[in-house]
Amino acid sequence: MYEELYAPLPDAKRYLERLGMDAPDITPEGLSELIVAHHDSVPFENYAVCEEKKIPSLGISDLFDKIVTRRRGGYCFELNALFCSLLRSLGFDARPLLCRILRADRAHPAPLHRATAVYFGDDRCFADVGFGGPMPEGAVPFDGSKQTARGLTFRIVPADGRSLDLLRLEDGVWTPSVRFSQDPVDEVDFIPANYFCSSSPDSGFVIHRMANICRPDGFARIADDVFTLRTAEGDETRRISSSEEERSLLKEYFGIVL
């Protein structure tokens, strides 16, 4: 049971083609290139959950079919699972992380996020291609040094026990973003969280439609019936007036065909 979670990646070359790049060097810099390419190519989106009422499969072959073959996106349990598989197939020492999203309006966040730790000898980096909001545009070292790219700055600091916090610099203040455990995590450990996020009436993924994709000069985002496009010239925000318009926006800006 659950053997599909541990299956090998079907085709690393096709995945890299989806990202528009060749195989990178097995270095933190190469990892950062992969992360940025992923952010710019594969959308964070929950339409399978919110609109199609599906519990996403976390099997590697199913994820490959959805994200690479059908050129859809997904949320953290999907995107970071397949990305971790890609990293391993390329020769990176990648291991899953179980995380908590830290927000001012949430006193006791449950561990409902997945990211990846990548080891380079004694050094480690944090990688995330499935957050859906402001996220590091590259690999963030565990050693506390700052990572800055595309106007965003992050660093990692110790938290409680064996946990670490990913902090984001906002208006000169370091704001907690993600807390993650350094304890080993197995692929099956994400099954309950994936089920909750895709089926519980308390899950925002069940209630709200969302899509987000990075661009070199900003991002495109759908939040329910509001579309936002950020470019170097500024933000354009408008209300989506029909399902036809929403499908057109999904295809044009996110590459999603429902």
Three-state secondary structure call for residue 193: helix
The percent of residues in the chain predicted with pLDDT above 90, rounded, is 90
The arithmetic mean of pLDDT across residues 62-71, rounded, is 98
pLDDT above 90: residue 25? yes
Digit-coded pLDDT (tens) for 100-135: 999 877 778 899 999 999 999 999 999 999 998 889
161: alpha, beta or left? (left if phi > 0; alpha if psi -120 to 50): left
Three-state secondary structure call for residue 150: coil
Under a CB-based contact definition with an 8 Å cutoff, are residues 37 and 94 in contact?
Answer: no
Three-state secondary structure call for residue 20: coil
The arithmetic mean of pLDDT across residues 214-228, rounded, is 94
Which candidate, 255, 247, 241, places its Cα nearest to that of 212?
Answer: 255
The alpha helices in 52-182, defined as continuous H runs, are 60-64, 76-90
The arithmetic mean of pLDDT across residues 10-27, rounded, is 98
Q: What is the mean pLDDT of the chain?
A: 95
Digit-coded pLDDT (tens) for 168-198: 999 999 999 999 999 999 999 999 999 999 9
For the sheet containing 123-127, what is the strand order? 140-141, 123-127, 113-120, 93-101, 173-181, 163-170, 152-158, 147-149
Maximal CA-CA distance, the chain: 53
Catalogue all structural domains in the chain, each as residue range(s) with its CATH number.
Answer: 3-254 (3.30.2140.20)
User: Which long-range contacts (C-beta less than 8 Å, at least 24 apart) are formed by 161-168?
Assistant: 165/102, 166/126, 166/136, 166/140, 168/134
CA pair distance 227, 171, nearest whole angstrom: 25
CA pair distance 75, 55, nearest whole angstrom: 11
pLDDT of residue 61: 98
